[in-house]
Amino acid sequence: MNKKLQIGLIGAGGIVQGAHLNPGWLAVPDCEVVAVCDVNPIAAQKLADKFQIPHVFNDYKDLVKMKGLDAVDICTPNKLHTPMVLAALKAGKHVMCEKPLATTVKEVLQMQKAAQAAKKILMTAQHCRFGEHSQAIKAWVDTGALGEVYHARVNATRRNHLPTSPGFINPELSGGGPCLDIGVHALDTAMWLMGFPRPVRVSGRALTNFAKGHEIPGAWGEWDRKMYGVEDFASGYVHFDNGATMALEASWLQHQEKEDWNATLLGKKASVTWPTGKFYTAINRSLIDGVIQPKPGVKPAHTEEILAFADAIRNDKPSPVPVEQTLSVIAILEGIMTSSAVNKEVSIPKYA
């Protein structure tokens, strides 16, 4: 494939403008964004005018049928992902889709089957894997420095940064709150660092503690309390097939000093925390602390993930974020919500 990759964007919101398009696709050589689609015609045209995108659509079904288009980048509310991904794959396009790929395991399995049938790449945009700190920590972990990882602590918690748009707080659009919005990032990164052990059972709790009231002021402004229908806090405890466990917390609003966004892996040789790279071990009865330095030469994480996606298309490589891995992530998050609803631990089937 010698020509420039022709890319279509579905969604013209903030994540597209601030990450996927710039510094994303615009920083990738031999790629050209040729189409954008949004249900808001003003937003779509405004983005097209700003970045000289020649084709504008208001229906994703029309965009995916566009001749010459190689790939589609989907950045829309969570509950809209599945029909858009399926339509793009059916039309013979490679697909990168913002996290979470879907809100249920059933939908991810549908997408997996469609990608296999179309023989096209399907990639979840889990950009946290691609940053300079993540890449350095992963390389260190893969040397075996941690030994057997027996537990992980994963946090994606905020004090008062609740996203206010309907795409986040209306369950008909989002399918969930901070668990699916930011918890998915920290969980995916932790699982990736651990080598993706298979989750077998999970218990969880999802609560709306503050979002219906006015006690905590929102750093991003006010939101519609009547529309708000998702959790503002979730926690989970996961058991894996190799005996390891994981504790997960995600929140948009709670009483804490500042945002807490990290994952700590506890191993029998050492521990390490992402994204700081701080590690702790003991050698010859001496306690040792250290810091893994960022990997040099790494571009911004969103640029790196898009570079990896484009490279996979051009060189017939596997998806940089395989659907099988996303399946485990969504199984855990869905399991947390199910466990909270039935008030007991739930099993996670083996998906093969």
Residue 326 lies in a domain: no
Q: What 8-state DSSP symbol labels residue 160? A: B
Q: Please give the average per-residue pLDDT across 295-310, as a whole number.
A: 97
**pLDDT value, residue 351:** 82
pLDDT band at 193 (very low <50, low <70, confident <90, very high): very high
Distance CA 72, CA 84 (A): 9
CA distances from 251 to 201, 202, 233, 234, 235 (A): 22, 18, 4, 6, 9
Are 305 and 26 a contacting pair, CB within 8 Å? Answer: no
Strands 233-240 and 245-251: antiparallel
**pLDDT value, residue 2:** 64
Are 307 and 161 a contacting pair, CB within 8 Å? Answer: no
Distance CA 211, CA 184 (A): 20
223-272 per-position pLDDT tens digit: 999 999 999 999 999 999 999 999 999 999 999 999 999 999 999 999 99
Q: Please give the average per-residue pLDDT across 111-135, as a whole number.
A: 98
What does pTM read for this prediction? 0.97
**b/e string for 15-29 if b means 16 or more Cβ within 10 A?**
bbbebbbebbbebbe
Residue 268 lies in a domain: yes
Are 47 and 40 a contacting pair, CB within 8 Å? Answer: no
**pLDDT value, residue 29:** 87
Q: What is the crossing angle of helices 323-342 and 184-194, to 10°?
A: 120
**pLDDT value, residue 1:** 55
Distance CA 200, CA 197 (A): 9
Give Rg (Cα) of the chain: 20
Helical spans, DSSP H, in the chain = 14-15, 41-51, 60-64, 81-90, 105-118, 132-141, 166-169, 171-174, 178, 184-194, 301-314, 323-342
CATH number assigned to the domain comprising residue 230: 3.30.360.10
**pLDDT value, residue 169:** 98
- Which residue has 């007991």 as its token pair? 344
**pLDDT value, residue 80:** 98
Residue 283 lies in a domain: yes
Residue 173 lies in a domain: yes
Residues 133 and 123 grouped into a single domain:
no
Residues 216 and 337 grouped into a single domain:
yes
26-54 per-position pLDDT tens digit: 999 899 999 999 999 999 999 999 999 99
Least confident of 13-27, 56-70, 166-180, 260-274: 13-27
Residue 325 lies in a domain: no
Residues 306 and 235 grouped into a single domain:
no
Residue 270 lies in a domain: yes
Residue 352 has pLDDT above 60, yes or no: no
Q: Is the dihedral of CA 339, 178, 61, 305 positive or negative?
A: negative
Residues 9, 275, 175, 19, Cα dihedral to 10°: -20
Averaged pLDDT of the chain: 97
Residues 95 and 140 grouped into a single domain:
no
Which range of residues forms the domain containing residue 290? 129-298+331-347
CA distances from 105 to 89, 108, 195, 327, 350 (A): 18, 5, 20, 6, 11
Residue 14 has pLDDT above 80, yes or no: yes
Residues 110 and 13 grouped into a single domain:
yes
How many domains does the chain divide into? Answer: 2
Residues 186 and 288 grouped into a single domain:
yes
Q: Please give the average per-residue pLDDT across 275-282, as a whole number.
A: 98
Residues 51 and 189 grouped into a single domain:
no
Residues 343 and 224 grouped into a single domain:
yes
**pLDDT value, residue 191:** 98
Residues 316 and 262 grouped into a single domain:
no
Residue 74 lies in a domain: yes
pLDDT band at 23 (very low <50, low <70, confident <90, very high): confident
How many CB atoms neighbour CB 77 within 10 A?
18
Residues 211 and 89 grouped into a single domain:
no
Residues 50 and 171 grouped into a single domain:
no
Residues 113 and 11 grouped into a single domain:
yes
Residue 44 lies in a domain: yes
pLDDT band at 3 (very low <50, low <70, confident <90, very high): confident
SS3 label, residue 306: helix
Distance CA 186, CA 264 (A): 10
